[in-house]
Amino acid sequence: MNQKEGENKNITTVDYRLYPNSTDEKKMDLVRNYCGYLYNLLLEDEIGCFTETGKKRSVFDLKKRMTVLSKDHPETRDVVYSTCRQNVATRVHRAMKGCYMDKETGSCAANPVSRRGTVTIPSATNRRMGSSSSGGSCICPI
């Protein structure tokens, strides 16, 4: 929208504080834990792909992979909105930007950071967040 000469527009910012009850707080913690779990899964997958091929996937490809991962883990699909899952894929892409192949060792030379903590997944796929099953040297546990 163009501003006419002499017309002043006032822009007002309003801050709201949220005070969730204990039930909502538990739900937010669960969503945050699941997002961290998905982040670590996708990061492991991306590092494994990077060490095998030497190429990083695009954000679009990571989002497609996130869709596959969420189908493999339906408990996360029921709790985390699709927009949040896509946002996780974008964050993994940003974390991998500084990663490059070390010519001597043939592995990833930079260390993208995995998410802290432990999440308990209701299904049989319990995993410690930050552990790498692909053997990639890029995950540095915090």
The predicted model scores a pTM of 0.66
Radius of gyration over every alpha carbon of the chain, rounded to an integer in angstroms = 20
Low-confidence residues of the chain, pLDDT below 50?
118-142
**CA–CA separation, 87 vs 109, rounded Å?**
25
- Domain coordinates of the chain in residue numbers? 22-96
Tell me the pLDDT tens digit for each residue of 53-66: 888 899 999 999 99
What is the residue-wise DSSP string for 65-127? HHHHHHHH-HHHHHHS-HHHHHHHHHHHHHHHTT--B-TTTSSB-S-PBPPPS----SSS---
